[in-house]
Structure 1
């Protein structure tokens, strides 16, 4: 059976994409350089939050298989790149994984193949980095093979929107390339939205996340001065969101996390500085504000303990929820990590509870507690960092000596404070 698509990179983006294509009856091959990931998938074991072992079993029954054999890329009529693009030391995207994936595809590129980049990056990457590498073997994009960019829009833990019902933006190197990409995704995605070209599609993803980044920074800064002015910002937002037009609610928190919000806007800011020589001031200010939130939470925690006649040094501080989003195990860029490190640096004894985390990778010295109810009763201060559905927040707050809610979900009381 011919392979309809090879998905290069089987993480939280590539695997749901492979699932939907397989469900639509496409023969899908998954390629990854991680031998453990490939072996576990072929054994029916999932390694991402949004897919269960049963989902993987369904995919395998539908013909999906995973491989580390690069040569098999040549079997596919479409190759989709879904590898990570972390932030580099210079502030732009680290493209090493993309470059490696493209090099692998280039070695097995065949005439008529469609190649799509989904990895988030700066505008121009598809045309300036991917295309030259693919054309080095003699085939020409837009003539001998199709090339497009389609930004990933996977939202881990989102129970309403997934790969199938989230509109898919595509931008091709040529109109014919856009047609080929739209036809490919249209077979298993409900709505395909065509951008003018690859640069427009690349920039659309950055605009989406920059919009969120800036608006989160706005309410985070408001949280600080509203506290000083004794204004309940959560009530302010609730009142403002009653307006049926012209307002979208964003909420403050202990910082931003995940791969998108704290990372993607910096790609755009870096690109503007590198190409045009001036700053993207909104992004840089938002980054400054959001990155300071863990330190602000630390300051508020210290104040709460002082009011209770306790020093932060030597106090036991329990963090509830250390993932970057509720109800998932993903710890990437979670603001809980810098908060924990700053608490420890001030001499606090840091404990954590999270029903989704067995080992806190970025803060290995933090003490894991298994019973949240008993732990909050013993800790000098409990901080709700992430509101997982497993938490009965008011019950936990009621049992705590001091409770600091950074998510605005508790009922305020004598021993309970909100961000």
Structure 2
């Protein structure tokens, strides 16, 4: 089968992209190194929050197929790389998955192919890392094949914006490459935004997430001193956001999670230090502030227990919602993990409940899972309950009313004798 597009990586980015491409009649090949993922997809089973089993079945009916065979990449007219780029030990991006994907493409590269990198990374990756490997066989980017970068902008769990209606930024190795990529995405994305080149497209994604990272750090720091000054920050934000210009509301929380906010700004900081020799101080300070929020939540919980003459050591602490954001099952970089680890280190007995999590990775052996049927009893018996993520399944005020003490990191609970908001 000749594929219109092969998408490398069938996770939270690649699979929604495959869905939209299939919906307009493109023949899509989904490539992944995980046999489990591929077998599940070919059996019509989804493993990401935003797609149902029915979505996968519809995709298969439209010609979608998944494979672990890299030789099949040679059948595709366009190849899109959607693999993860975690942080390495030195704080830079781990390009191992990207390098593996590019090597597989290089072995199957044909004249006329369009290659697009979507994986978030530092500026220059497309031109300095991807292009030399692809050109090693003699074909030239912009002449024999086409090369572009288009940052992924998937927001898991977002019910308003998805792959189709989120504007797609594209930047090519040459203007011709840019137009080829824009033409490809224009088939199934409502709006395509062109940049001058690959570096501008790479940096645009980092700017977006650095902006969020820094502003989240700002309100997280304000949460601390507003609490000490007896100022209701949540009320402050509600008042400030009534201004119709010049302000965007950000909210404090137990820490940042997911693949983007805690990781992507570090790519930019790493690149600035490596290439220019000086720090990106805004990013590094924001990282420092956001990384300390789990410890701050522990401190606030300890203070609440002290008010009832209880020590944190030996107390039962129930965590509600352990994913990295509400209404999804994704646990990547969830701040609930360091929160639980620090509670356990201080001698607390940690329990957790999450309607979307079967197994909590990272602290599964040290935290007791509470089932749905036992939730109300567990809340009433726990010395303190901490709402980490406000899943829609939670009636926050009802749960707070059952608790002995309730620390709400979401700011949604009504004030009360037993309730304290972050």
TM-score range relative to shorter protein: over 0.9
Matching residue within 399, 405, 410 for 2:408: 405
Aligned to 1:372: 375
Aligned to 2:7: 7
Aligned to 1:321: 321
Counterpart-to-counterpart distance in 2, 1:242 and 1:212: 20
Aligned to 2:399: 396
Counterpart-to-counterpart distance in 2, 1:197 and 1:172: 5
List aligned pairs for 1:192-271, cutoff 5 A: 192-271=192-271
Counterpart-to-counterpart distance in 2, 1:169 and 1:196: 11
Counterpart-to-counterpart distance in 1, 2:82 and 2:22: 16
Counterpart-to-counterpart distance in 2, 1:312 and 1:211: 36
Aligned to 1:415: 418
Spell out, residue by residue over 1:245-291, the C-alpha distance to the aligned partner (whole angstroms, 9 max, x if none): 00000000000000000000000000000000000000000000000
Secondary structure of the corresponding residue to residue 341 of structure 1? helix
Matching residue within 381, 385, 388 for 2:388: 385
TM-score, L = length of structure 2: 0.99
> Deviation at 1:80?
0.2
Secondary structure of the corresponding residue to residue 3 of structure 2? coil
Counterpart-to-counterpart distance in 1, 2:52 and 2:281: 42
Aligned to 2:131: 131
> Deviation at 1:69?
1.0
Secondary structure of the corresponding residue to residue 116 of structure 1? strand
Aligned to 1:19: 19
Work out whether 1:158 is the aligned partner of 2:158. yes
Secondary structure of the corresponding residue to residue 214 of structure 1? helix
> Deviation at 1:375?
1.2
> Deviation at 1:372?
2.2
Secondary structure of the corresponding residue to residue 77 of structure 1? strand
Spell out, residue by residue over 1:335-366, the C-alpha distance to the aligned partner (whole angstroms, 9 max, x if none): 11000000000000000000000110111121
List aligned pairs for 1:6-405, cutoff 5 A: 6-364=6-364, 365-370=366-371, 371-405=374-408
Counterpart-to-counterpart distance in 1, 2:273 and 2:164: 36
> Deviation at 1:2?
2.7
Secondary structure of the corresponding residue to residue 79 of structure 2? strand
Counterpart-to-counterpart distance in 1, 2:284 and 2:239: 29
Dislocated runs of 4+, deviation >6 Å: none
Q: Superposition RMSD on alpha carbons, in Å? A: 0.5
Q: Specify every segment of 5 or more residues in structure 2 that has no aligned partner in the other structure, as ranges.
A: none
Counterpart-to-counterpart distance in 1, 2:254 and 2:112: 49
Spell out, residue by residue over 1:374-398, the C-alpha distance to the aligned partner (whole angstroms, 9 max, x if none): 2110100000000000000000001
Counterpart-to-counterpart distance in 2, 1:254 and 1:353: 16
Counterpart-to-counterpart distance in 2, 1:296 and 1:412: 20
Counterpart-to-counterpart distance in 2, 1:157 and 1:362: 22
Counterpart-to-counterpart distance in 1, 2:219 and 2:105: 44
Secondary structure of the corresponding residue to residue 80 of structure 2? strand
> Deviation at 1:331?
0.5
Counterpart-to-counterpart distance in 2, 1:284 and 1:2: 47
Counterpart-to-counterpart distance in 1, 2:52 and 2:89: 35
Counterpart-to-counterpart distance in 1, 2:367 and 2:2: 50
> Deviation at 1:164?
0.3
Counterpart-to-counterpart distance in 2, 1:273 and 1:25: 45
Counterpart-to-counterpart distance in 2, 1:35 and 1:255: 33
TM-score, L = length of structure 1: 1.00
Secondary structure of the corresponding residue to residue 391 of structure 2? coil
Counterpart-to-counterpart distance in 2, 1:171 and 1:109: 20
> Deviation at 1:98?
0.1
Counterpart-to-counterpart distance in 2, 1:98 and 1:84: 8
